[in-house]
């Protein structure tokens, strides 16, 4: 249901952050309604993270958004940067200084999510907007990937893989080999330097 609502945004000439926010609110309401109609699905929900290429002030911009603990990373000029913030109990404990990032990786609270689509209250997505620059590689992934691989390992794969598909395949393979204790899903997007080239996307999931 989340994907269906976001898919409706494809091709909108005037797409911007507000349109993405409305689509996520509609998806959350649809999930909540379905759960209410089917008691066995009570509590059903999902995290969501995404990347949208939009036109703002006459120039292309990326909009990065998330609800939950799935993440978006940017890899450019050899550096890996986390663009999103986790909506989780452990992220809040790290921010308050109660846990270190290392402790958070193994904490029993790491799967407690503080924002989801389908929750009783409409979840507010975090959104970041920045100019689109060619030569940038993005990674969208579930916590099953980041729970198994350190940032340095992720950066190494993104640096060495020649294309988006191979990068996604290798990230999933490496995370599963490291333990694969949770769903491991990765989408790699290459924003090519050549403006005439289309965006290269490669989804990949395992377990």
pLDDT tens string 31-47: 999 988 988 888 889 99
Two tokens, residue 191? 């924003």
Within 9-163, residue ranges assigned H as helices are: 17-37, 89-95, 101-104, 143-146, 151-160
pLDDT digits (tens, 9 = 90+) for 63-122: 999 999 999 999 999 999 999 999 999 999 999 999 998 888 888 888 899 999 999 888
**Residue written as tokens 């407690």?**
112
User: Would you say 123 and 116 are in contact if contact means Cβ atoms under 8 Å apart?
Assistant: yes
* pLDDT value at 169 more than 50: yes
Distance between CA 22 and CA 138 in Å, rounded?
24
pTM for this prediction:
0.87
- Find all residues with CB under 8 Å of 108, minimum gap 6, and list them: none
**Half-sphere exposure in the Cβ direction for 195 (13 Å, CA):** 4
- Which of the two residues, 87 and 200, has the higher pLDDT score? 87
């Amino acid at each position: 249901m989340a994907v269906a609502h976001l898919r409706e945004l494809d091709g909108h000439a005037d797409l911007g952050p507000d349109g993405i926010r409305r689509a996520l609110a509609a998806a959350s309401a649809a999930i909540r309604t379905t759960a209410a109609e089917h008691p066995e699905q009570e509590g059903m929900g999902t995290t969501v993270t995404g990347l949208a290429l939009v036109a703002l002030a006459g120039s292309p911009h990326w909009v990065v958004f998330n609800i939950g603990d799935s993440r978006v990373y940017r890899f450019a000029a050899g550096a890996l940067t986390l663009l999103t913030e986790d909506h989780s109990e452990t992220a809040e404990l790290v921010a308050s200084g109660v846990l270190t990032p290392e402790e958070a990786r193994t904490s029993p609270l790491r799967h407690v999510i503080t924002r989801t689509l389908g929750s009783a209250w409409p979840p507010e997505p975090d959104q970041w907007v920045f100019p689109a620059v060619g030569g940038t590689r993005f990674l969208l992934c579930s916590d099953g990937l980041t729970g198994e691989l350190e940032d340095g390992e992720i950066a190494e794969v993104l640096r060495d893989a020649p294309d988006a598909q191979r990068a996604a395949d290798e990230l999933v393979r490496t995370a599963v080999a490291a333990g694969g204790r949770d769903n491991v899903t990765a989408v790699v997007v290459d924003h090519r330097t050549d403006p005439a080239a289309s965006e290269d996307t490669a989804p990949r999931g395992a377990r």
